[in-house]
A = this chain, B = another copy of it.
Amino acid sequence: MQTVPYRLVTIVAESTVRDRLLSAIHRLGATGHTMSEVRGEGTRGGMQGATWERPSVKIETIVTVDVAEQIANHVAENYFRHHSVIVYLQDVEVLRGSKYAPQNEEA
């Protein structure tokens, strides 16, 4: 098994910014994403998970190291100030590495 090192970027955000976040990460070079509904609580309090509205969303995307950095920066600049959003990065080993690189150039 030869795996390739990539970065897993995880974003947890209130539902209101979901679609803007998705188009942003794909614009920045993500080739895919996985999304799930979560309920969260943070410094802003847990309202965004309140069932009266859509639950929060957790977006995970596996990307190359620099795309990961761009996404993280984009989120930080555009959402940290006023929105319930966090982002964190981890290393992952994937099979089929080419899949996660923009324009599929082998990473």
Contact with B along A31-49 (1 / 0, CB 8 A): 1111111111111000001
Q: What chain B residues lie within 8 Å of A39 (beta carbons)?
A: 34-36
Task: Give bound CA distance, A3 to B72, whole Å.
Answer: 9
- Output the residue of A38, A58, A75, A99 with the most chain B CB within 10 A: A38
Give every chain B residue within 8 A of A49 (Cβ-Cβ): 35
Interface of A is mostly: strand
Q: How far is the CA of A73 from the CA of B23 in the complex (A)?
A: 32
A95 touching B80, Cβ below 8 Å: yes
Question: Taking A1-B73, A33-B41, A41-B32 as contacts, is the C-beta distance between A93 and B89 under 8 angstroms?
Answer: yes
